[in-house]
Structure 1
């Protein structure tokens, strides 16, 4: 039998509800490129058309973990900083997490 998520959430303690909300916000604020594209309601094909490239180029880009950002990261770290990649939209910012594992 399927249970309504809202009913399950109401049975959680206020502390657990707050913790779940905070975790949800963290997941929304940092995501890989393919999840960001999906969350924005775009298919690979649609994005390829917008960028005037073939769809396989989008798939390849979404799988990449090194786009010559490693050199930039080295320079930033050498200056005592940390490199973060953030996409800014009118409805909020999203930290792109593809590059956090370099």
Structure 2
């Protein structure tokens, strides 16, 4: 017999529900580019069309471990997002602003 997730969740203890929610949140906070694209409901072909490149280029980009920030920014923006570069230190996090204007018109 198949049970609905809501029914299964209702049977969980409050602690188990909290642990489940924390694990789900952690999985959504960090993921590879290909999983992010899939989670956004986009195919490689669709993303390639938005970026005006060929689909194999998307597949290659998603496998890379090193790339230009401008390339990653374009990829993220094509998915409807915004890229932020943040450095984390024991004392706190600092948003690096050098990259926020990449691709934007030159300011007067």
**Fold shared per TM-score above 0.5:** yes
**Number of residue pairs matched?**
74
Structure whose residues are more often helix by fraction: 1
Structure with max Cα Rg: 2
Q: Which residue of 2 aligns with 1:100?
A: none
Q: CA RMSD in A?
A: 2.3
The residue that corresponds to 2:37 in the other structure is 37
* Structure 2 equivalent of residue 6 of structure 1: 6
Say which SS state the counterpart of residue 57 (structure 1) adopts. Answer: helix
SS of 1:31's equivalent in the other structure is coil
For 1:5 and 1:19, the matched residues in 2 are separated by: 16
Cα deviation, residue 4, structure 1: 1.2
- Spell out, residue by residue over 1:7-39, the C-alpha distance to the aligned partner (whole angstroms, 9 max, x if none): 111111001101100111111111110111111
| 4+ residue runs over 2 A deviation | 66-69, 87-90
Gaps of 5+ in 2: 70-75, 85-108
